[in-house]
Amino acid sequence: MTPPSNDALLATLRGIVGSAQVLTSTDDDGLDAYHLDWRKRWRGRSLAVVRPGATAEVAAVLRACRAAGVSVVPQGGNTGLVGGGVPDDSGTQVLLSLSRMQALRAIDPANLTMTVEAGCILQKAQGHAESAGLLLPLSLASEGSCTLGGNLATNAGGTQVLRYGNARELCLGLEVVTADGEVWDGLAGLRKDNTGYDLRHLFVGSEGTLGVITAAVMRLYPRPKSRLTALATTGSLEQAVALLQIAQRHADATLTGFEVMNRFSLELVRRHFPQLPQPLEPAPWTALLEISDSQDAEAARQRFERLLEEALEQGCIDNAAVAESIAQSQAMWHLRESISLAQAEEGLNIKHDISVPVSRIPEFVRRTDAALAVSHPGVRLVNFGHLGDGNLHYNVQCPVGGDAAAFLRQEEPAINRLVFDAVAACGGSFSAEHGIGALKRDELAERKSPVALGLMRAIKQALDPQGRMNPGRML
């Protein structure tokens, strides 16, 4: 059977979702929001941007694209960092935007769950939970624009993994449209269901290569009665790890955030966003701690102060500042979340999203800093991230006065190899929370074990035998 022409496919797609929801270059030249990735490293071109408004429409779109032999690139908020959510430059792919599918389907306070569609902005989903007096703890710097479906497709991490886990741990059920256009309804929201393979875990983290997540059941928590935040300066990562151990001993499960930022990362924030207050003097490292507690605020504060007092007595920290209000707490987090924006203002850079066992983070940083000083003298290291769960964003900025674009183009392969070799030597992963996408596909092929890659390819072949779902990503 001869596949239908592009014109016939576009007519079919308009019949499914409505003409206004099928965007092409002839209809609308302002498609950069869909075709250009957040880092502005990948610019694609689609046959059409299709915006379904319901799961049945997603299924019909995938069936039409399968019949036409056209590949599909699912997209959420287009905030990814590895080039996994934009089309290639062939102009032959359909970009499937879930942006219209934002409905809150249900909140079950007794079950502590929320069922929400994949296009819902994360911040809006957090608001739905808050309106019910509950907490959706997934929290990212991009939460004002990223979508829940994208978070699940990439198994997003964020700032509270230490306490609540990645997006995977927060998901109890999924609704998925398969590559064949069938709908799997796995939205039961059960915490215990041993009835065969857990299909949910196949699709979480699959980056749209196996199917399209259209809705999810998310795990909710009671809202904490108190929230305490502090910044603390320390002279080394060894001391920061010691501080983390003290915090875990005092706070246990109430420790919901433990971030670190090196001197240069906060220097960039100071340079590009001087209006943001930095309550402590510059130091080699600054830690950001947060405790969320079900106890009353005064009891939690006393425990927090004892934690910091012990850290001072043991020489783990030099100074500390405790937020006295919600506004001050938000300002401290704003410092941390402004580092990536400050980097962008400084110029293009080589980004790394790595994880190693927490105990080996000081060794990794010491080894890698020293190696880069020899191989690329003058580079500036923007090192920050989630020390509490072993995830650092170890980013490399070109030397002062250098051509940032040329540096990225010429030096990225060599620097990546150096960094990833150091990660492997410390028993870590070269991709902690950003995913693989197009950026790290070749790295995955080189560094993942042949057995693991064989299993992944077998799953891909079983669920997407025609290779139409987000081709060229991950595998």
Model pLDDT for residues 330-374, shown as the tens digit of each residue: 999 999 999 989 998 998 899 999 999 999 999 999 999 999 999
| CATH number of the CATH domain containing 176 | 3.30.465.10
In a domain, 287, yes or no: yes
Domain end call among 97, 131, 158: 97
In a domain, 471, yes or no: no
- Position 3 scores a pLDDT of 63
| CATH number of the CATH domain containing 239 | 3.30.70.2190
Residues 247 and 313 in one domain: yes
- The two most distant CA atoms of the chain are separated, in Å, by 77
Which residues, listed in sequence order, are joined to residue 395 by a DSSP beta bridge? Answer: 382
- Position 62 scores a pLDDT of 98
- In order, the DSSP letters of 92-111 are -PEEEE-TT---EEEEETTT
Query: Could you give the CA distance from residue 171 to residue 165 in angstroms, rounded to a whole number?
Result: 10
| Residue 181 contacts residue 60 (beta carbons within 8 Å) | yes
Place of tokens 């030096």: 411
CB atoms within 10 A of CB 162: 23
Residues 155 and 215 in one domain: yes
Query: Domain containing 33: what range?
Result: 6-97
- Say which amino acid occupies 31: L
- Tens-digit pLDDT profile for residues 410-467: 999 999 999 999 999 999 999 988 889 888 999 999 999 999 999 999 999 999 999 9
Residues 324 and 367 in one domain: no
In a domain, 53, yes or no: yes
Q: Could you tell me the two tokens for 456? A: 């992944």
Cβ neighbors of 328 (< 8 A, separation 6 or more) are 229
- Position 40 scores a pLDDT of 80
In this structure, the strands spanning 285-293 and 226-234 are antiparallel
Average pLDDT of the chain to the nearest whole number = 93
In this structure, the strands spanning 22-23 and 391-397 are unpaired
Confidence of residue 30 (pLDDT cuts 50, 70, 90): confident
- Position 19 scores a pLDDT of 94
As a whole number, mean pLDDT of residues 273-289 equals: 95
Place of tokens 């694209």: 65
Query: Could you give the CA distance from residue 101 to residue 112 in angstroms, rounded to a whole number?
Result: 22
- Position 27 scores a pLDDT of 57
Query: Could you give the CA distance from residue 59 to residue 210 in angstroms, rounded to a whole number?
Result: 14
Query: Could you give the CA distance from residue 451 to residue 455 in angstroms, rounded to a whole number?
Result: 6
In a domain, 443, yes or no: no
Helix (H, G, I), strand (E, B) or coil at 31: coil
The yes-or-no verdict on residue 319 having pLDDT over 80 is: yes
Residues 250 and 168 in one domain: no
- Tens-digit pLDDT profile for residues 95-141: 999 999 999 999 999 999 999 999 999 999 999 999 999 999 999 88
Helices (H), 18-132: 32-35, 55-68, 122-131
Query: Could you give the CA distance from residue 48 to residue 52 in angstroms, rounded to a whole number?
Result: 12
Percentages (nearest 5) of helix, strand, coil residues in the chain: 40, 20, 40
